[in-house]
Amino acid sequence: MSYNQRHGITLTEIMLALFILSAAFIPIIAVMSTGVRGTQKDETILRGVQLAQKTMNTALQLPFGDLVANRGGAGAGPWVFGAAGQEFSYATASTNLRLGKVLEGTLEYTLVLEISDIPFNFSLSVHNPMARNIASTTPAGWGWQAGVRVPRVGDQTGLFNRYVLTATWFDRGLSDGSQKTYRLVSYKARLHEL
């Protein structure tokens, strides 16, 4: 081999190397795109959950009477806000409750709040710590006075409200575009009349 002979890479070798490199990257790109779709789907669910929780917290802050009075319709419960495409918005000085179709970024969620009155009774037993049998291993001997109730005339009665917030959206990441639902349930005591 002479000193003047040139050593180099031919165009064919460059093309072959590029082909091998691109063939190696195709599976990597496919895995990355699957991961991106999964992340977008998780973000959609997370946004729906956060929006529902934020809206439920706002609804629980508002007095029950305010919600019923500003519903825009008469009748007994259950009271439904934001259902069947009826937008509902109620604001006070510190809170703003929006129900119905709510845009969150580029996504559209539908929030429906249903409030039901559920009656309940409760009574409190009187405890006499001086009558407690210290050695007793059964709750009956721990100083509860049998037959005595507070208040003495009847049981305390009242209502508690069951709040059910439903968030729905369409999952655009799925081929069938199926509807997804997230539901929150909470309770709020209302021991006085409206």
Tokens 């895995």 belong to which residue?
Answer: 31
CA-nearest of 115, 80, 117 to 99 is: 80
* 166/80 Cα distance (integer angstroms): 11
* pTM for the whole structure: 0.62
Our CA angle for 174, 84, 103, nearest 5°, is 55
What are 112-123's pLDDT values in tens digits?
998 887 777 666
Q: For residue 98, give both structure tokens.
A: 């929006």
Whether the CB-CB separation of 114 and 80 falls below 8 Å is answered with: yes
Asked whether the predicted pLDDT for residue 194 surpasses 50, the reply is no
What are 46-62's pLDDT values in tens digits?
888 899 999 999 988 88
Question: What pLDDT was estimated at residue 119?
Answer: 72
Domain ranges for the chain: 36-190
Share of the chain above pLDDT 70, in %: 63
Kindly indicate the confidence band of residue 166, based on its pLDDT and cuts at 50, 70 and 90.
Answer: very high
Kindly indicate the confidence band of residue 132, based on its pLDDT and cuts at 50, 70 and 90.
Answer: low
* 176/183 Cα distance (integer angstroms): 22
